Structure 1
């Protein structure tokens, strides 16, 4: 759902990125805090200090508060990352964006106790920060506002993330608790159902109170919960499978000067949609039907060759699918050194996913019946 964004820094060895939406929301959030500064001071029981309410001071204070909020979000995500690290799971990156932050782990553990440990680490960091700023709070001036504000927002951040909706921490906690009694696939499906119910309720509440941020968050939760569930099912269905298990071995290799019309005849005869292209035993690339729209039938296929994505036969099927998705490739060549072993297409991967998912669903039903 998120792009990698702009590299910012490395924190304890973890890359931190800024999504472009962060750069848009930061000044907006600073403006909203500055505009409502008198209301905040009243809420916190602080004096309406004229020095805080005049000139550019409210916006500067709002900008400082907004940056402090995102720093709190970063520490929240760092809590997840360090908890995952203790379990031997690497964090690929932390991204700050429009709605907060995301710690992208290389995998989500399917052991319920491990998922609980990682999921609860973030809210615990937020609650610890809320307590810290409450103990340090001042009763006037800039520090008075900031300490009260950060105590409140960290408390809200921790509580909001405990809503039982994926991909929020509470959704992961809910799924982990379900997985103590149900197969992981069934637990994920149940958690997705709860997530979408929470998203609808959150969206309706946002409409009732005219809060577009809550409506946007509800939409994000609804869509992200579906993506989370699909990714989890995909990872489980392809677990244990390697590229060599799914590839089509000994593919038909075409010379680069073969006419396109001959390629089309071969595709129809052999029911394949792509071919490797070779010259004197050296792999030049791959050509697929999707890249031949509008092609001259008499032109050589070498004119339409695409740079190949090379996979090892020992790569996992899931890693292969991820790499093909990142590059936008419909197929990859399976290579061992300079030797072409086979072709792996997305169709091969999706067929394996469908077959394995049917098997997992059958096992879930059998387990549920007992």
Structure 2
């Protein structure tokens, strides 16, 4: 969903990144809070403090409050990540963005109880932060405002994320509870149906009250729930398959001095879109049609090499697809030691997905004990 963004630091060993949209929303949110400080003081039951409503203080206080909000979101996501780590699931990164934050895990466990624990960990952290800020002794002034504001924010984070809509925590809780008594794919489909119904309702309500943020959240929930369903279907379809099962073995290899024109003729003749480039048994890289656009036909292919993505033949097909997608590779080389065994392309993975998809009807039937 997200590019890497700007790396900030590591928290509990997890890389924290900043999406560029965050840089837009943070000052806007700070400005909004600062301009509405009197309303916030009234909402939080605090006495009005005229000193905080003058000069740069409203914006600075708004900036502190907005930063506290995003730090609360960060700790919420760390809660998910630490719970996932307990089950051996690593978190690639946590990204702060326009609508909050997201922990990008290597995978979502399909065991219902594990998914349930991981999903509840984030709201639990938010509830603990709510209790912490509520017990702070600050009763007035800037500290009183920040303490009560962050208490309210964390309570809101916990409750909002428990809405039963994917990809929110409540949607994952709902799916996990369904999966305790029915197949995981069927549970996902039912959870997605509820998620999209809630997204439509939230979007229509946002239009009625002229709130563009609610409309944006509804759109995100709708699209993300579809993506979750597709990812689950893909995982089911590729389950049990390894790279060696899908790769094209004994691929055509090119010498580095072969002219581009001859490489294009080979691609047309053999109906392939890329080749490994090898010299004296050593892999130099890969060359693909997408990298030869506008190239001089007399150029050696060595001028247009791309660094190869190397896969083990025993690697899971789904893991290989995720690595290829994350790095933007259309193909990868399958190697064992220094020996080139084959090429795995997105076309190979798509073909396997389509074939396995035809037989997925059995996945809606309950499985026996594993």
2: CA distance, partners of 1:156 / 1:251: 56
2: CA distance, partners of 1:352 / 1:31: 51
1: CA distance, partners of 2:243 / 2:112: 29
The answer to whether the 8 Å contact 1:33/1:62 transfers is: yes
The answer to whether the 8 Å contact 1:134/1:151 transfers is: yes
Match of 1:53 in 2: 53
Q: Secondary structure at the match of 2:167?
A: coil
The answer to whether the 8 Å contact 2:183/2:363 transfers is: yes
Q: Secondary structure at the match of 1:133?
A: helix
1:206-355 alignment runs, 5 A limit:
206-297=206-297, 299-355=299-355
CA change 1:283–1:90 in 2 (3 A) is: closer
1:90 equivalent in alignment to 2:90:
yes
1:23 equivalent in alignment to 2:23:
yes
Shift of 1:115: 0.5
**Larger mean Cα displacement after TM superposition, 279-288 or 26-35:** 279-288
1:363 equivalent in alignment to 2:362:
yes
Shift of 1:229: 2.0
> Which deviations, in whole Å up to 9, do the C-alpha atoms of 1:90-130 show, x marking residues without a partner?
22222211111111222111011111111011111212222
Shift of 1:27: 1.3
> Which deviations, in whole Å up to 9, do the C-alpha atoms of 1:167-208 show, x marking residues without a partner?
110111111112112211121122222222211211111122
Number of residues of Structure 1 aligned to a counterpart in Structure 2: 367
1:182 equivalent in alignment to 2:182:
yes
Shift of 1:259: 4.4
Match of 1:104 in 2: 104
TM (normalized to structure 2)? 0.92
Q: Secondary structure at the match of 1:342?
A: strand
CA change 1:29–1:339 in 2 (3 A) is: same
Shift of 1:294: 4.0
CA change 1:272–1:51 in 2 (3 A) is: same
Q: Secondary structure at the match of 1:136?
A: coil
CA change 1:92–1:297 in 2 (3 A) is: closer
Q: Secondary structure at the match of 1:113?
A: helix
Shift of 1:303: 4.3
TM (normalized to structure 1)? 0.92
**Larger mean Cα displacement after TM superposition, 275-284 or 66-75:** 275-284
Unaligned runs of 5+ in 2: none
CA change 1:12–1:263 in 2 (3 A) is: closer
> Which deviations, in whole Å up to 9, do the C-alpha atoms of 1:201-222 show, x marking residues without a partner?
1111112222222121112112
The answer to whether the 8 Å contact 2:192/2:225 transfers is: yes
1: CA distance, partners of 2:295 / 2:143: 68
Q: Secondary structure at the match of 2:359?
A: helix
CA change 1:208–1:343 in 2 (3 A) is: same
2: CA distance, partners of 1:71 / 1:297: 54
The answer to whether the 8 Å contact 1:243/1:314 transfers is: yes
> Which deviations, in whole Å up to 9, do the C-alpha atoms of 1:23-53 show, x marking residues without a partner?
2211111111111111111122222221222
Shift of 1:260: 4.3
1: CA distance, partners of 2:319 / 2:142: 50
Q: Secondary structure at the match of 1:255?
A: coil
The answer to whether the 8 Å contact 1:137/1:148 transfers is: no
Shift of 1:366: 4.4
Shift of 1:299: 5.0
Shift of 1:138: 4.0
1: CA distance, partners of 2:103 / 2:327: 22
Shift of 1:329: 2.2
1: CA distance, partners of 2:351 / 2:141: 64
The answer to whether the 8 Å contact 2:20/2:97 transfers is: yes
Shift of 1:286: 2.4
CA RMSD, 1 decimal: 2.1
2: CA distance, partners of 1:144 / 1:294: 64
Unaligned runs of 5+ in 1: none
